[in-house]
Amino acid sequence: MPDMEKKIPTIIVRKPQTDSGSKSGAEDTSTMDFIPNKNEIIENARIKLEEILKLIVDFPEEISVTVTQGERTTIFNIDCSKRNFGRMLGSRGKMIGSLRNVTLAMTARHGIRSIIEVPYFSQDMKPLKQSA
């Protein structure tokens, strides 16, 4: 068997290309992601939730969403009339469950825990007992 020469891999080093207008070594701030603060994230989620609800219900002028910030949790309170209530909940609570998931996804990616409270019902969708 003839002796085979071992080939040594060639390493190619390329210098990074620089734009003619940017300084070398300085970071380009135009490509850096903007990180909104907690209040902006919550307000954006509130606006989106309210917009979605207004598209779903029959009387959009009777829907509003308010925000209560606790120590660790942000609560989105939905205020609506009884005639919008069925559309907002959806069949077997599927609509409000989906809205909770979407709102949680919007806020959780920024490390904010959020829940949606619905009038007249608790989180597990059972009627609240009213004290007389």
Q: Which domain holds residue 92?
A: 38-117
Q: Is residue 94 part of a domain?
A: yes
Q: Is residue 31 part of a domain?
A: no
Judge whether 96 and 103 are in contact, CB under 8 Å.
no
pTM score, whole prediction: 0.63
Q: Is residue 17 part of a domain?
A: no
Q: Is residue 46 part of a domain?
A: yes
Q: Is residue 55 part of a domain?
A: yes
Number of domains in the chain: 1
**Which secondary-structure segment (H or E) carries 55?**
helix 38-56
Other CB atoms within 10 Å distance of the CB of residue 53: 21
Q: Is residue 49 part of a domain?
A: yes
pLDDT > 50? residue 122: no
pLDDT in tens, 50-90: 999 999 999 999 999 999 998 889 999 999 888 888 899 88
Q: Please tell me the predicted confidence (pLDDT) of residue 104.
A: 93
Task: Identify the CATH number of the domain in which residue 77 sits.
Answer: 3.30.300.20
pLDDT in tens, 4-44: 677 777 777 777 776 655 555 555 555 456 667 888 999 99
Q: Is residue 130 part of a domain?
A: no
Cα R_g (the chain), whole angstroms: 27
Q: Please tell me the predicted confidence (pLDDT) of residue 82.
A: 84
Q: Is residue 85 part of a domain?
A: yes
